[in-house]
Amino acid sequence: MTARLVYDAKDIVGESLLWDDRRQRLVWIDIIGRCVHALDPETGRHRLWSMPFRPTSISLREDGDAMLCTERYICRWDWEGTPIPLAEVEPDLPMNRLNEGAVGPDGALWIGTMHQNIAEDDSPAEIPAATGRLYRYAPDGTLSRVTEDLFGISNTLVWPEPDMLVVGDTLKNALYRYRIGPDAILGPREVFAQGLDRGLPDGSCTDARGRVWNARVVGGHAVACIGKDGALLEYLDLPCSWPTSCAFGGTGFATLFVTSARFTMDQDHLAEVPFEGGLFAIPAAGKGSAPNRFGARRPGS
């Protein structure tokens, strides 16, 4: 399977990729570029929304709107106007920010935080400690912390099974597994996959078989396919060094799409690898399914 460039986005930090099956388009964000993308990969029709803030994740709502997160707030967005803040996360921790966000099979928005790693001028900033946590924002507006575990860079929020959550910590090169209790509180953290030898874990998606597909950022040049038992099954190579997130989409959900980043890269490197920050496609990688939507609970969850 050979990856191809679908759109030369030149994102600084492309992230939070998903397939909007109702509109037949890909949606993703560029955190530092302060924008939201939408692309029909069949026609090439592309739309770009500029934002007055750094977006950190985007998810779909059952009513057709989006859940768009900023560094501090969970927002609702109608794809046209100004996003409406719904909740501030960790108001007592001003040096933290939101990072990963995804809707679970329970119809709630799950969010991870981390210490701020982007300076005011958009340059990299040091992370002095693991201060990130995991939260759940329910459709009734309740925001709750779901575990006391700490994360350096919270990444990957996927559900191989309705009651199993897989979460990544990029700084530890680890993916963790939690069982979800009936009250949505997470059980003990267990290692799911750790120490993979290509890059570090960033965003993920699952396929219809419950396998986890994980973008290997920071020099990984690949997406890793990991079985439900945590075993590495294969790497799919990419013509970019910092893949950041992935999602199955297109006809039959049979194409794996991947975003990437060019954060921290110098001009010499970008001259040699000009498609860093692009959007890529790997056909026939597997078979995905329709995305979870905020406010819609899947059977069995």
* Three-state secondary structure readout of the chain: CCCEEEECCCCCEEEEEEEECCCCEEEEEECCCCEEEEECCCCCCEEEEECCCCCCEEEEECCCCEEEECCCEEEEECCCCCCEEEEECCCCCCCEEEEEEEECCCCCEEEEEEECCECCCCCECCCCCCCECEEEECCCCCEEECCCCCECEEEEEEEEECCEEEEEEHHHCEEEEEEECCCCCECCCEEEEECCCCCEEEEEEECCCCCEEEEEECCCCEEEEECCCCCEEEEEECCCCCEEEEEEECHHHCEEEEEEECCCCCHHHHHHCCCCCCEEEEECCCCCCCCCEECCCCCCC
Percent of the chain at pLDDT > 70 equals 100
Round the average pLDDT of the chain to a whole number and report it: 96
Tell me, yes or no, if the pTM score tops 0.85: yes
Encoded amino acid at 187, one letter:
G
> What was the pLDDT predicted at 273?
87
The structural domains of the chain, with segments of one domain joined by +, span 4-294
* Per-residue pLDDT reduced to its tens digit, 23-47: 999 999 999 999 999 999 999 999 9
Look up the CATH number of domain 4-294. 2.120.10.30
Residue-level pLDDT at 226: 98
Residue 278 confidence (pLDDT) above 80? yes
